[in-house]
Amino acid sequence: MRPRRRWLVAPIGFAAGMVLVSQVSPTRQEGLSFAQYRARVEPIFIAPRGGHGPGMSPCATCHVSSGTPLRLQPLQEDGSGGVFWSEEQSRRNFDVVSRLVVPGQPERSRLLRKALAVQAGGAPFHVGGKFFESQADPEWQIMANWVRAAGTSPDPAAAETSPPPLDFEFFRTCVQQVFLNKRQGRMECVHCHGGGSRGFARTLPEGRAFWNLEESRRNFEVLRRYVDPGYPLSSRFLTHPLAPEAGGDHFHSGGRRWFSRDDPEWQMLAAWVRGEASTCLSY
């Protein structure tokens, strides 16, 4: 009889979630300890959470098969039904996770922010729910210490700087044009994002060619869930349709809109996310 599958229990002190990307490189790993990652960070991804559904399932339930930046290796199963990763698989996971870390800055790291409650400094939205209500959570602290041990920011004051606000007017007049722009061989954003929870490009009423002010604000509120202000490479809005070899996500059901970060459209949106002045492209 096949043994019943069970999740291995991680000791208290293991951390979960996802991490922010460096603006310098999508694969920044300086100073991050693989040994500590494997012993104290990775086990959180298979730690039981008491059930199923948002905020209850182990991280691996979604992140082994999802198209998010935290794409983990398939799990193996031991003779007693426990699950694990081999050392080689853990190294591949480490490469993925470290792309999402800002060494020395846990508060800027998406690994810690995505599953952290918003009121505690977390990201606005996480499909899997919020695991940590406070930065004092023992698991959150263990991973924060792992990130801190990787070194400090070249500019220590940067950690205290608030992220730039997203410019709504630029979104309204320029960013929304991207949703309607047709590129040869590629699908427009409005075809997939016209409704539902990911509806940041709501279907336009018949006879209308663009969104009014109220509709634009609704689109803006949805889209900001997928943006980390100040960090284009940790903003899913910019990584999901970007080719993986350019730092994008592994999968996007709508195909790839950008094959390089040098694409003028990607550059315009990246400048908007960074809070910089940008010129609106003509379509």
| Residues 184-224: tens digit of each pLDDT | 777 889 999 999 888 999 999 999 999 999 999 999 999 99
**Whether this model's pTM surpasses 0.75:** no
- Lowest-pLDDT range of 11-15, 92-96, 225-229, 238-242: 11-15
pLDDT one-digit tens code per residue, 50-83: 766 656 688 888 888 776 778 899 999 988 888 9
What is the average per-residue pLDDT within 103-116? 89
Is 81 within 8 Å of 6 (Cβ atoms)? yes
Is 111 within 8 Å of 101 (Cβ atoms)? yes
What is the average per-residue pLDDT within 74-97? 92
Contacts of 150 (CB under 8 A, 6+ apart): 30, 31, 32, 33, 101, 103, 104
Beta bridge partners of 12: none
Whether the pLDDT of residue 5 is over 70: the answer is no
pLDDT greater at residue 110 or residue 1 = 110
pLDDT greater at residue 143 or residue 81 = 143
